[in-house]
Amino acid sequence: MCGIVGGIAQRNVVPILLEGLKRLEYRGYDSAGLAVINNFELYRKRELGKVKELEALLHADPISGTIGIAHTRWATHGKPSTANAHPHVSGNKIAVVHNGIIENYEQLKTAQLAQGHEFTSQTDTEVIVHEVFNALQGANNLLDAVKHTVRKLEGAYALGIVNADEPDVLVACRKGSPLVIGVGIGEYFIASDVAALLPVTQRFIFLQEGDVAALHLDSVEIYDALDQVANRPIIESQLSPDAVDKGNYRHYMLKEIHEQPFAIAQTLEGRFINNRLQENSFGHNASEVFDNIKAVQILACGTSYHAGLVARYWFEELARVPCQVEVASEFRYRKPVLAADTLIVTISQSGETADTLAALQEAKKLGAKYSLTICNVPESSLVRESDLVLMTRAGPEIGVASTKAFTTQLATLMLLVIAVGRRFHLTGQTEQKMTAQLFRLPGEIEKVLQLNGAIKRLSEQFAEKQHALFLGRGAHYPIAMEGALKLKEISYIHAEAYPAGELKHGPLALIDADMPVITVAPNNSLLEKLKSNMQEVSARGGQLIVFMDETLVPVAEGNIQIIKVPQVENEISPILYTIPLQLLSYHVAVLKGTDVDQPRNLAKSVTVE
């Protein structure tokens, strides 16, 4: 992961780099650093912790320069420490920031140690900067030295590199990790994500795999993987610089939970004419692709994978579309057999998740002819690499724990089920029912958000707990999985989800008065089965917390607490039941005093394996 920013300008770039780093903290936040060139000297500052720690260091001991690079880190090789923080330096002249993993670093390091290089970090990145140093001895300039260096690197990288002897050029390159160039007026920037540069420009060049670029004050030269001059278009971003404001909310996560009615309304906006879903929303040749497909394979990670699991119930139950769902990191190495004419559907908030991207590439290698991505970031790699695209339009999601991205993924998947299902067994009547439910969804979510106070009170019972079980059945089982993931990632309480019918096959042994069992209990055809599973918990003295349809009467005796959820129709019910579980995790985490928006050890965009 990690976030990179860099710039060459006629003004001091340090404030721009710092602002950029803050906007990239979702990519990692265990240490940060920057380096600038001033009067042919390299100045570097690094600090353990978040960007604000680096900012404090720079406040106490300022540096400035018109060219520089900066980095916020999510540790892969070497623990979080100042010594391992980027930029890494060679010969007091060259500095490098890196996002990605160099797989052959041990081999390069052995050679460099023999050449007399001293290593000051445990990172894989340090070999890059020493390699550039070596290459510079025989090269004309930094650009040539970097071109030479990248030929030796195996793995993934996005790099920003400066040389104190060449203060008029910033060199950048990428392979397997994202990097954009921000085009200013008489100034150029680089960053891992457009959001980092929105305060200075809305014009961007997206580097392609293997590109190497040299940025000067008034020009940029780009070379492709074959070292040919490449013409990359300048693209205007639609994002506004203040899209990432926390408003009056205490945390981004709470803001994003409350944004869900609006986000879902945005998802649906303009995609229906006379209540009929327009298939060109997925791309101009979408209808043709949908006409040809015989099955769906969904690939995703984490929360996005849970969205895929819900969609499988919809695809198969409502439309009889054969649908498989797999965690991308497993699919990519499993040597799977793909049925002919399978539509590969990737789901990703960021569009940069390395495993999901690699799984898509693997599917293409296996002969998949059709791909579609459900994504929240228009300029992302997955969007660029997929034939069809349906944007979730959730707006920027800053909290590391995904909330509005998940529910908009679900709404978007329902659109896909309608479009594909029409070719299978989805009846006109069911389509109309689903459409009507989708349009009612923002209002229904507003109602569920009213449960906030009750859930906050409920959360007080959790602060001391070590473990929790989540139960659900059918399409609500993945919702239980999502509830457990949210709780563990932001409150650090160990939580697991089970399909309620599995309880008796092992997990029941865990039940005692200290084990809260959170159950998702909508009023559907599986309710009677679920009631029996809840009785099994009650009979063993377990503490049941049931999110239950308001029309139902309590279902078990003993230690049971009920939060009544407004009644909704079957199809959209999994989306609705997500909201109280998000609120529960949020309030538990606040009570526990964890870092809600940036939980330990995690990052928002997982661009490494």
Q: Any idea which residues carry the catalytic annotation?
A: 2, 604
**Residue 25 or 279: which CB sits closer to ligand F6R?**
25
| Reduced DSSP (H G I as helix, E B as strand, rest coil) percent helix, strand, coil of the chain, to 5 | 40, 25, 35
Single out the residue of 51, 388, 401, 416 in contact with ligand F6R (rule: CB under 6 A). Answer: 401
- What is the smallest separation between the CB atom of 300 and ligand F6R, expressed in angstroms? 6
Total residues at interface with ligand F6R (CB under 6 A): 14
- What is the smallest separation between the CB atom of 388 and ligand F6R, expressed in angstroms? 17
Q: Which stretch binds ligand F6R (CB under 6 A): 56-64, 128-136, 161-169, 300-308?
A: 300-308
Q: How far apart are CA 3 and CA 21, in angstroms?
A: 7
Structure tokens of 111?
């050679």
**Residue 303 or 538: which CB sits closer to ligand F6R?**
303
**Residue 173 or 357: which CB sits closer to ligand F6R?**
357
Structure tokens of 463?
């602060």
Contacts of ligand F6R in 60-79 (CB under 6 A): none
Is residue 396 within the footprint of ligand F6R (CB under 6 A)?
no
Burial class (CB in 10 A: 0-12, 13-18, 19+), 81: middle
Single out the residue of 66, 90, 304, 407 in contact with ligand F6R (rule: CB under 6 A). Answer: 304
**Residue 87 or 399: which CB sits closer to ligand F6R?**
399
- What is the smallest separation between the CB atom of 19 and ligand F6R, expressed in angstroms? 23
Is residue 348 within the footprint of ligand F6R (CB under 6 A)?
yes
- What is the smallest separation between the CB atom of 607 and ligand F6R, expressed in angstroms? 9
DSSP single-letter state for residue 281: G
Burial class (CB in 10 A: 0-12, 13-18, 19+), 377: buried
**Residue 74 or 498: which CB sits closer to ligand F6R?**
74
DSSP-assigned states of every residue in 188-255: EEEESSGGGGTTT-SEEEEPPTT-EEEE-SS-EEEE-TTS-B----EEE----GGGG--TT-SSHHHH
Q: How far apart are CA 128 and CA 144, in angstroms?
A: 14
Single out the residue of 66, 112, 329, 356 in contact with ligand F6R (rule: CB under 6 A). Answer: 356
Q: How far apart are CA 430 and CA 277, in angstroms?
A: 13
Residues 6+ apart with CB under 8 A from 377: 193, 349, 350, 351, 352, 383
Single out the residue of 66, 260, 402, 435 in contact with ligand F6R (rule: CB under 6 A). Answer: 402
Burial class (CB in 10 A: 0-12, 13-18, 19+), 381: buried
Helix (H) and strand (E) counts for the chain? Answer: 19, 26
Is residue 395 within the footprint of ligand F6R (CB under 6 A)?
no
Contacts of ligand F6R in 150-179 (CB under 6 A): none
87: cis peptide before it, omega within 30°? yes
- What is the smallest separation between the CB atom of 603 and ligand F6R, expressed in angstroms? 8
Is residue 350 within the footprint of ligand F6R (CB under 6 A)?
yes
List residues bridging with 35 in a β-sheet.
44, 69
DSSP single-letter state for residue 500: G
Q: Which stretch binds ligand F6R (CB under 6 A): 35-43, 76-84, 349-357, 500-508?
A: 349-357
Sheet holding 370-375, edge to edge: 323-327, 295-300, 342-348, 370-375, 388-391
Q: Which stretch binds ligand F6R (CB under 6 A): 21-29, 299-307, 414-422, 563-571?
A: 299-307
- What is the smallest separation between the CB atom of 404 and ligand F6R, expressed in angstroms? 11
* CA angle, residues 88, 92, 94, in degrees to nearest 5: 55
Contacts of ligand F6R in 105-144 (CB under 6 A): none
Is residue 585 within the footprint of ligand F6R (CB under 6 A)?
no
Task: Evaluate whether 90 touches 142 at the Cβ level (below 8 Å).
Answer: no
Is residue 301 within the footprint of ligand F6R (CB under 6 A)?
yes
**Residue 75 or 301: which CB sits closer to ligand F6R?**
301
Is residue 606 within the footprint of ligand F6R (CB under 6 A)?
yes
Is residue 302 within the footprint of ligand F6R (CB under 6 A)?
yes
Q: How far apart are CA 338 and CA 368, in angstroms?
A: 7
Structure tokens of 428?
């006109």
Contacts of ligand F6R in 217-256 (CB under 6 A): none
Shortest-Cβ-distance residue relative to ligand F6R: 302
Phi, psi (degrees; rounded to nearest 5) at 242: -95, 15
Is residue 353 within the footprint of ligand F6R (CB under 6 A)?
yes
Single out the residue of 30, 489, 549, 571 in contact with ligand F6R (rule: CB under 6 A). Answer: 489
Is residue 303 within the footprint of ligand F6R (CB under 6 A)?
yes
Taking alpha carbons only, the member of 546, 508, 507 closest to residue 530 is 546
Is residue 329 within the footprint of ligand F6R (CB under 6 A)?
no
Single out the residue of 349, 459, 533, 578 in contact with ligand F6R (rule: CB under 6 A). Answer: 349
Q: Which stretch binds ligand F6R (CB under 6 A): 54-62, 175-183, 237-245, 298-306?
A: 298-306
**Residue 173 or 495: which CB sits closer to ligand F6R?**
495
Is residue 442 within the footprint of ligand F6R (CB under 6 A)?
no
Place of tokens 């980095």: 71
Structure tokens of 562?
């009920």
Site string for ligand F6R, 250-289 (x = CB under 6 A): ----------------------------------------
Strands 494-499 and 467-472: parallel
**Residue 350 or 538: which CB sits closer to ligand F6R?**
350
- Residues forming contacts to ligand F6R in the complex (CB under 6 A) are 301-304, 348-350, 353, 356, 401-402, 485, 489, 606
